[in-house]
Structure 1
């Protein structure tokens, strides 16, 4: 197991940064686990005994809306922690978790995770940065979900993704918007009729970013 962990960490600079001063007895406690899509799941309101570091793949953190829609709070990638807040507070999960792709994770019992935090000053600083980034992202998303319509949310995400040259599909747009699949299709049709987006199979491309920004301002 130690050789497997060393090989995995050697391939991932983000893991090297997290574990570079980790005490040996903590290193020895890590277990490497692999999960197929949808097999790595945790339920909001349930309590779990382990903390995880995402070593490969993508995980969705989400809440269920009053209408039964899964509203994504964030998409975690390698280097992210899962369950660390709940481990520190000894509380049930505040949101649900599911993996969107096959994932590799490092699992450690909650009590040893807290011991690691006490014994490793470097790791303590890394965790503070990680938690601060989560709070920042969540604040921005909460404002979008609570104050804006589904159309506003969809346009905001399209603008955000376009500025970062990220590919947008119907699936990840639905993950970002608190609405039904049927209503999202209406929004996509509306924006396509306004000639601000094109749709090629499942991929959505913004063709007129300035006009899309104007539509968002007028909606607000």
Structure 2
């Protein structure tokens, strides 16, 4: 692997650059850069892998599969996130599966190098602890939403969040954020559209009545 390609990937993203800023040179020299088309990067729950990854560009979905085939999305990671860091540190099989939902670029680090890096680079270790804490916090909030809210409330909360953050809303995005089937998502969206709360175009969804959506969520059992 050309070391210049590694540095190019590192410097292409400010979050990644800050993560690797104080990494030992011998660790950086053994890193690799890999590119994957959408849905070509898959790590399976229950399997063990020899590498840890830093997501340089793109998005991946972290999910669980039940024996019955039901899928529960735990999170969607953007650039700057680690993949497999927990498993590398405790030397365990993957607790969830991962698949890329867009084309991605990753930095590949051998597990033993990742562990050595975390032991030698105290700044990096502090950053790693912060990242893991944020993941746990976010996962707790997501599990609360899954267990305590109906499908309509989950979808409504996500629609309102996207509207507040001015994020374009698509059906695909919704499937990553709610614990229900695609069929049920379509049923809820149709109900909201029939009530003139949202407008569904071919690829995007827009809130047309913010206050009524909030009221529906508050009165939903």
Q: TM-score of the superposition, structure 2-length normalised?
A: 0.95
1:67 and 1:149 map into 2 onto residues whose CA distance is 21
Q: Which consecutive unaligned segments of at least 5 residues does structure 2 have?
A: none
SS in structure 1 at match of 2:206: strand
Partner in structure 2 of residue 14 of structure 1: 15
What is the CA distance between 1:65 and its match in structure 2?
4.8
2:66 and 2:201 map into 1 onto residues whose CA distance is 30
Partner in structure 1 of residue 121 of structure 2: 120
8 Å contact kept, 2:76–2:176: no
2:92 and 2:212 map into 1 onto residues whose CA distance is 46
1:149 and 1:142 map into 2 onto residues whose CA distance is 12
Q: TM-score of the superposition, structure 1-length normalised?
A: 0.96
**Cα deviation digits, residues 74-99 of structure 1 (max 9, x gap):** 11111100000111111111111000
Q: Which consecutive unaligned segments of at least 5 residues does structure 1 have?
A: none
Partner in structure 2 of residue 186 of structure 1: 187
8 Å contact kept, 2:51–2:110: yes
Q: Does 1:78 align with 2:79?
A: yes
Aligned length: 220
8 Å contact kept, 1:69–1:179: no
Aligned CA RMSD, in angstroms, stands at 1.3
* Residue correspondence of structure 1 range 1-220 to structure 2 within 5 A: 1-65=2-66, 68-220=69-221
8 Å contact kept, 1:57–1:104: yes
SS in structure 2 at match of 1:127: helix
8 Å contact kept, 1:15–1:55: yes
Deviates more, 1:206-215 or 1:73-82: 206-215
Q: CA, structure 1 residues 65+144, in 2 after alignment: closer, same or farther (shift >3 Å)?
A: farther
**Cα deviation digits, residues 58-87 of structure 1 (max 9, x gap):** 101112257633222111111100000111
Deviates more, 1:178-187 or 1:196-205: 178-187
1:66 and 1:199 map into 2 onto residues whose CA distance is 34
1:193 and 1:3 map into 2 onto residues whose CA distance is 55
8 Å contact kept, 1:72–1:175: yes
**Cα deviation digits, residues 124-161 of structure 1 (max 9, x gap):** 11111111111111011000111222112111111111
1:147 and 1:44 map into 2 onto residues whose CA distance is 26
